[in-house]
Each structure stands twice: as structure tokens, then as C-alpha cells.
Structure 1
Amino acid sequence: MPDTDAVDAEVADAEGVPEEARQVLGPFTGPVFLASLTHNAKNGVTGGVWNVSAGDRSAVLKVLTRSKEATGRWAASDDPRHWNYWRREADVYTSGLAQAWERNGIRAPRLLARVERADGDIALWLERVPGRPATRWKPARHIEHARRLGAAQGAVGEVDDQPWLSYRFLRQYVGGNTLGQELLDDDEAWQQPLVRDHFPEGLRRDMVRLHHDREWFLDVSESLPRAFSHLDLWPANTCADGSHSVVFDWAFAGDGALGEDLGNYLPDTVFDLFVPAVRLPTYAARAYDAYLHGLRESSWRGDENLVRLAVCASAVKYDWLTALMLARAGEEQVDYGGDRAVDAETRYRERGLTLAFLAEWAREARVLAPRLGFSEAPSGR
């Protein structure tokens, strides 16, 4: 790792980091070392994320900003309700909400310090958690995580509304992902070799239908029982530390449907190649049962059918992904963070199978919703 004279070029004010480190970590001798951590560099809210080592002490430094150039949907927002509000993660940590699920086995890294910098940025100094990342968990550990999530969301439920919690996240996030939507009805796009050879038969019909029904799915999701939600829960934001799951990156946290976080976590374990797609039906069924078990362990006594509807309706979050895959079928495929190439055929096969699985969720939602008093989906009439 580089020393303070050659820190990562991403560090906006490298000369201030050693002094902050001394204030946060206490006295130490020798240089300060920074190593950049994988994150979404496109997001205008994130100035950078680093492991910081100083003597025998260490921490994670995350800089929140609104001055970083970012295009389109990843631009930082000053609207406290917007899904990409730039200050939200700092507020979640300092309010204590990041630790709301701790009694049920899920916690956030400990906040060591929140530093309001002179340039307007916010530096979050966080505990460095050395646990096993969820990207390397076996399915059984993901399933246990689902149980803990159910217990936590059942016990905590909704929280007192704060003006900086995200609201209508799913609608805003899906609506901001528009790349390639015109290709959904383009015959040539569906005949690209990666798409033609690796997307299951019938997927085009199912994904076009999901896109056309998008408003219905969003309306249903917003009418379901609510819970304090992370809203970016996936293996790259999770690790194991002793008796707890540790969840990072609370930048989107806020109001969500009870079950929505699980509906995000399960497909994301396959989309980014952490669990093979062939295991998804069994893995998802067991994880859903574990989530319900966790809910029953808590004080929650609601209608389980509404939870199932929330999980299935969350398929709409990935409406945009099909269009993106069509748009990028001719490009080099890289992993999250953009550091390494990913085998294109493997990615398209695994994502195609997962999208087909989500189409089954969408079908189940269309059947279940009218039984629970919701209108039928437009394409189901």
C-alpha cells in the first residue's frame, strides 16, 4: 500500500487524512497507508472508500460528497427523500439506525467519527471488520442471513420517520435506469449471439410484459406493509463477524416493503456470480422460509401472503437489467468495480436464468395480488 506521499489519486485531500487519522485513532508513529476498496466509482455521492492503516491501528474511511462529477442517475442529490441523497449514510450512522437490527444478529460497522470537512464533504471513519465476505459464503450461510433479516425487520418494523430517509426508493431507482429500453422491442437486439444463445426461450415475452406492467408492480409494492429497509442488501455489502452479519453501505436506507430487501438479496447473489443460477430455485425457497421463520421469532404477526407478494413484486426492480444486457451484449464484461474481466457467456447464461426465475416471481405476484384485494395487472386482464 502507498504511503502518505503517494496515496491513491482518488483521495481528494490527501494531506488532511493523517491528521484526521490521529484525531480518530489516537497517537501513532510512522506513515499512514491507504488502500482503495471496491465500490461504485460512478456514484457521485461516493468520494472514495479506503482501508486506512496507521501504526498498529486501522479503520475504513468513506468520503461522502456532492461535488464529484457524475452523469445521469448516479448524480448526487440534495433532496433528502431521493434515493441518492448525498448525506444520508452519515445521518443513518449518527442517528443509530445503522445498529437497529443488532439484537437480531445484523449490525453495521461501528462509527468511529464523522468529520465535516472544510470543503463540504463528510468523512465517515468506520470500524474495519475483518470477517468473511458474503461473496464467499455458501448457500446455507446466506439462508441464515435471511432468517436474521426476517427477525430484525419483524422486531423493528417501521421506524419513526426521519426527513432524510429514502422514500419510494423502488420507483425512483427503476425509473432512473433507462439505458437500452428501446431495445426491448428490437428483433436485432434479441438476436445478438450472447442473448440468443444464453437467454432462455420465452424470456423476451416475459421481460417485455414485466416492463409494460411496471407501474402496476410499483403501485402494489408501495401499498404493502412497510419496514425499515437497507435497500441495497447484497453479498458485496455483507460479511460475517462472529455471531453477527455485518452490513455496509447504508446510503439508500429508508422506507421499503416488508420482504423487499430479501427480494433484492436473493437474485443479486446470482447476478454477480456468487451462487450458481442452477441452485437459485431451491436456495430462494429455503431463504424465504428462513425469512418467515425469523419474522415469526419476532413480534410480527401479520399476513404472510403480503410478505410473499412483496418478495415476488420486487422482480420489477430488475426490469431495467434486461435492457442493459441487450445494450451491452457487444461490450467487454467486467465485474463490480470494473477491475476484472468476467466471462461474457457465463454472465449472460447466469443472468438469463435468473431473469427467467424473476419472471416466475412476477407471474406469482399477478396471481396473488387480486386474491389479496389488489387490482389485476393490466396484461393479466
Structure 2
Amino acid sequence: MSHIKTETLTQALSKMLGAEIISADFHSKQLHGGTVGDVSLVTGNAQNAKGVKIPYKIVLKTQKKWERHNDPHSWRREYDFYKSNIGALFSETFHWPECYHIEMNEEENETQIWMEYINGLSGADLTGDMYERAAEELGRFQGKLFAAQPAFLQELTNLSNVDYMKNFYFHYRSWKRVYDFIRSDDCEIPKHICKMLIDIDESAEEIINRIEKLPIVLCHRDFWVENIIHSDGKTILIDWDTAGWGYLGEDLASLIADEADMEHMVDYYNRCVPAYYKGFSESADTTHITDNCVYEMILLMFGYRLVEWYMDAADDEKMLHINTLRKIYEMRH
């Protein structure tokens, strides 16, 4: 659990509540924790200079230094983003949680971000309409940035590389454990699913050439249901530590395939791709794009990953990953 300093808490609460806070009690409850970061909900009562007690909820995200493969500085990216002017680029209906206080401990290689608590729906509670809304809002946001090309965004140095998806795919493909498995006689995954993955391997160069003709946009790169919160008709997006330059539609791969709602997966694919392009085209011309490559991006990002998850899953969970691959097969066929 993150260490909370009272003076830092009162500083964050003063900004959040718009009044000088002189003291606050608190209780901390972990919302999420692991390699990437520790996220806690901090609640209690704050006291202002007039002695009035005000109940509050605020989120503290603590991130320690760690190195993601091919993206070693991602651990501090959200801190860098909140320090920049990116927040001004969001809209009333699509944004991130407001930040009330941020600090870096250089000695400990650790960041702390005190941010807004969002009460809304996410994960498995998202409906098809919310999926579609999130896709359209993301497209609108990316289209606006693509058209405006704000100078400060071009100058940011800590962004993941445009080749992140390609490098991710080739990293997985070079792993003999998964590569050889789908080609072996012992593989229990249905043969037509294995052929789908092998066909992607054999066509990878041509597919990547097609993808690289798409517009380059600012991608979130972790645009899955647990990072999307729907609240009062608005879409709020959290966890920006993998964000960077990527290709139009890249984020839809995560929205559709990362811990997918399998029952509606094909339907969401058919709904979200047009909604995304609708939002993007409000600011940028898409008439020249005849191949969105979203299906191929899903396979590049999640094909071998789903094979890995299948190989490591308990027997009662293996079918979950095979069925997800089946749904991806249905998208094309």
C-alpha cells in the first residue's frame, strides 16, 4: 500500500475541493496493484480553514520504475503526460481523470499522481452502446489531434514508438514455444484456427505494408474495457502508460479482443469500426482509406497472445481462449 503524507493529501484536496484544507483523516483501499502500479481509493473527511468537515474520495496512483519490453520509460509516461498540456486536448465527453497533485521521487524512481475518482461503469458492465460510444469518441479525439497537429505533442519525447505493434508481433512470433505449438501435431487448437494464425505469419510483410499506409495517430495502446469508464454519458479513459504514436484503428484491437465479451464480440467489431471512423472523419478525411486493417491488427496483437494464454490456462479455462480465437475467425469469415 502506498505511503500517504498528510501534507501531500491536504495539498491535493485543497485543489480538488477549491478551498484551503488544513487537515484530513483518511482510509486507503487498494483498487489495483501489481507490476505496473499501485492504485488506491483514499476516503475520509477534510477540514477547511473555517472548521467545516467535507467528505471526499480521491485516487492515488503510485508507480515504481520498471522496464516494459521495447518501451523502458513507460513507467513514468503517465506522470509526463499529466505534466504536459495534453489535458487541454480532451473534450467534455471524452477525457481522463482530473489530476490534483503530482510528484516524482527521483531517489526512489517513483511517481505519485493524485487524481479524480470516477464513479461509473467499466469492464464487463459496459454495454454495446457504450462500446460504440467509446470507439466513436476515441476516433473523434484522434481525428482532432491528427488535423490540428499541436506542436507541443510533436515535441514530447516519452511516447511509445510507432512500430510498437509490429515489434510486439515479431517478438511473439520469434518465441518458438507458441510458434511451433500451432504447427505441431499435438496442438489441440482447431486446425482452421491454427491456419488463420499461420496465414497471418506468411502474409505479415504485406499486411504490415498495408497498415503503414494508414494515418499515424496518438494511440492509448491499452484501450480495453477495464480502462474505459462510462459515467453520465461521458467516456473517461485511464492508464496512459503505454500511449504513443501508432496507426489508425490500432486501439480497436484492444477494445474488441482484450478479455473480450465473446457473446457479442463479432457484433461489437461490426459496430465499433464504423463508429470509430465516423468520429475520426469529423476532423480528417478518410475517403481514401479502403482497407482499415482492424481485423489484421487484432491478429497481430492477440493471435499468439491468445495461444500463450491457452497454453498456460487451467483445463477449465482453455476453451475461453479457443472461443475468442473462433470469434476472431468469424469476423473475417
| TM-score for both structures, normalised by structure 2 | 0.81
Letter in 2 for 1:24: A
Matched, 1:35 2:33: no
From 270, 276, 279, the counterpart of 1:291: 276
1:313 match? 296
1:300 match? 284
**Residues 86-125 of structure 1 mapped to structure 2, 5 A cutoff:** 86-98=75-87, 100-102=89-91, 105-117=93-105, 118-125=107-114
Letter in 1 for 2:59: V
**Post-superposition shift, 1:203?**
0.4
2:262 match? 276
**Residues 24-103 of structure 1 mapped to structure 2, 5 A cutoff:** 24-26=12-14, 27=21, 31-38=25-32, 41-43=34-36, 46=37, 48-55=38-45, 56-66=55-65, 75-76=67-68, 82=71, 85-98=74-87, 100-102=89-91
* 1:63 and 1:121 in contact (8 A); partners too: yes
* 1:21 and 1:54 in contact (8 A); partners too: no
**Post-superposition shift, 1:284?**
1.5
Tell me, in whole angstroms, the C-alpha distance in 2 between the residues paired with 1:204 and 1:247: 34
| TM-score for both structures, normalised by structure 1 | 0.72
The CA RMSD measured in Å over matched residues stands at: 2.7
From 158, 165, 174, the counterpart of 1:170: 165
2:320 match? 347
Tell me, in whole angstroms, the C-alpha distance in 2 between the residues paired with 1:218 and 1:321: 18
Tell me, in whole angstroms, the C-alpha distance in 2 between the residues paired with 1:175 and 1:63: 31
Instruction: List gaps (5 residues or longer) in structure 1.
Output: 1-7, 69-74, 333-342, 362-381
Matched, 1:238 2:218: no
C-alpha spacing 1:83/1:113, structure 2 compared with 1 (3 Å):
same
Instruction: List gaps (5 residues or longer) in structure 2.
Output: 15-20, 46-54
* 1:134 and 1:238 in contact (8 A); partners too: yes
Letter in 1 for 2:28: L
* 1:101 and 1:156 in contact (8 A); partners too: no
Letter in 2 for 1:109: P
Secondary structure of 2:289's aligned partner: helix
2:115 match? 126
Matched, 1:185 2:170: no
* 1:180 and 1:326 in contact (8 A); partners too: no
* 1:257 and 1:310 in contact (8 A); partners too: no
* 1:203 and 1:355 in contact (8 A); partners too: no
Letter in 2 for 1:122: T
C-alpha spacing 1:215/1:317, structure 2 compared with 1 (3 Å):
farther
Tell me, in whole angstroms, the C-alpha distance in 1 between the residues paired with 2:102 and 2:255: 29
* 2:266 and 2:327 in contact (8 A); partners too: no
**Post-superposition shift, 1:127?**
0.6
Structure 1 residues 38-63: Cα deviation after superposition (integer angstroms, max 9, x where no partner): 35x234xx2x1111113222211111
* 1:131 and 1:241 in contact (8 A); partners too: yes
**Post-superposition shift, 1:222?**
3.1
1:323 match? 307
* 1:258 and 1:310 in contact (8 A); partners too: no
Tell me, in whole angstroms, the C-alpha distance in 2 between the residues paired with 1:262 and 1:29: 44
C-alpha spacing 1:319/1:211, structure 2 compared with 1 (3 Å):
farther
Structure 1 residues 266-320: Cα deviation after superposition (integer angstroms, max 9, x where no partner): 223xxx25x233x332332122222222233x221133535x4242331211132
**Post-superposition shift, 1:349?**
4.7
